[in-house]
Amino acid sequence: MRRRTLLTGIGSTALLATPHIARAQWPGVTADEIRIGHTIPYSGPASAYGVIGHAHTAFFKMLNEQGGVAGRKVNFISLDDGYLPPKTVEQVRRLVEQDQVSFLFSPLGTANNTAIQKYMNQKKIPQLFVATGADKWGDPEHFPWTIGWQPSYRTEAQIYAKYMRKEKPNAKLAVLYQNDDFGKDYLIGLKDALGADYAKFIAKEVSYEITDATIDSQAVTLQASGADVLVTAATPKFAAQMIRKVADMEWKPMHFLSNVSASVGSVIKPAGVEKAKDIITSAYIKDSTDPTWANDPGIKKWRAWMDKYMPGADQTDGGYLAAYGLDQTMVQLFKQCGKDLSRENIMHQAGNLQPHECDVLLPGIQPNTNPKNFHPIRQMQLSKWDGGSWKLFGDIIEGTGA
């Protein structure tokens, strides 16, 4: 198990052997182990997210050292999909049909999870806490076996639009968005908040493809629109490019950056910490670079865990924090499941998550769900980059998750 976990933790699949499947008490669960599947881009244009997979692998290693789950070791099988939906489908079929996992945990990517959602629901296999904020993951009526974790991109965009409208009532808005459900959720959220006035505010919408080499031409087009507000709904590689290009053009719009690309280590530093100055994002996770949290017990606990289980890893990379928070919610779910690790009970508990503390979440934010609301985190707070760290401002804002 350890050998396979370590191999998959670095995105390797070729060396995997078909596991020996012992007599199962429930699908994916034997007397001594529970098999959990996971896909993430360890390679390709979104490989910056690979740190999340490495962190999950390390967390489950710790959990096993502490006795595992209901007396069973966790066999966490993490496969590389390169951020390519067809590859995700291939890897998930392998996990379900060959590795016979109990469920999927934190598979990453909006288009990637979309590609497997119907399959997982037809098979009645939990697709738990998907690592994407697309609004559609909270649809228990049509997809009762799929649930998100992080705040909805749509809600996030609503927050940006409301702030823009308050601070710049005559704003001209430009939007860069990834041409898939991830990026389009931001457009929907902006339109939700601005309503009939959207046409009055919008100066230009420009999309990009995940296969594009750069977004330089899109940035030039957006600047030429005369916009004084910019929303960048992009994954890390393209977010860093946009930050650099905006600064190089000496364009100074009020700049909102998608939360999933607010990592200091994988976006802000590569883009240039000074070039990112005054960018606004929304936060639900504590920023490890912010001195505010230097003596915070939760961050201290996380750093101690990082030092022990991920020595040498970049602790300014927000991916490690997000993974740790997700893992703590998974621990809460296991606690609620008790000895019943059937897929039905796992999904039932996911849809009835009790409010619980996660060490890395902002104070006052506690993931929870009910059968009609599959959005565990529905609160965020605005944050501005001051050249050295993200600084929170304003109040915690409750989203509807709709």
Specify which residues 361 forms β-bridges with: 285
pLDDT at 16 over 70: no
Reading phi first (left if > 0) and then psi (alpha if -120 to 50, else beta), residue 213 is in alpha
pLDDT of residue 13 exceeding 50: no
pLDDT of amino acid 23: 62
Residue 312 pLDDT exceeds 80: yes
Question: Does the pLDDT at position 12 exceed 70?
Answer: no
For the chain, give the mean pLDDT: 93
Tokens of 184: 């389009």
Higher pLDDT, 396 or 62: 62
Q: Identify the DSSP state of 18.
A: P
Alpha carbon distance 78, 91 (integer Å): 10
Which tokens in the block code for residue 82?
């390169």
Higher-confidence residue of 194 and 6: namely 194
pLDDT over 70 (residue 1): no
DSSP symbol at 311? T
What the chain holds in terms of domains, given with CATH numbers, is 2-151+298-371 (3.40.50.2300), 153-283+381-398 (3.40.50.2300)
Tens-digit pLDDT profile for residues 229-278: 999 999 999 999 999 999 999 999 999 999 999 999 999 999 999 999 99
Contact 190, 175 (CB under 8 A): yes
Question: Could you read off the pLDDT of 196-240 as tens digits, one per residue?
Answer: 999 999 999 999 999 999 999 999 999 999 999 999 999 999 999
Residue 8 tokens read as 């998959």
Tens of pLDDT, residue by residue over 109-134, are: 999 999 999 999 999 999 999 999 99
Give the whole-angstrom CA distance, residue 325 versus residue 323.
5
Report whether pLDDT(320) > 50.
yes
Element (H, E) at 179: none
What does the block give as tokens for 99? 């590795």
- The pTM of the full predicted model, rounded to 2 decimals, is 0.86
Instruction: Check residue 372 and give its pLDDT.
Output: 93
- Please state the rounded mean pLDDT for residues 89-113: 97
Q: Tokens at residue 17, please? A: 């052997």
Percent of the chain with pLDDT over 90: 91
Q: Which pairing describes strands 280-283 and 390-392: parallel, antiparallel, or unpaired?
A: unpaired
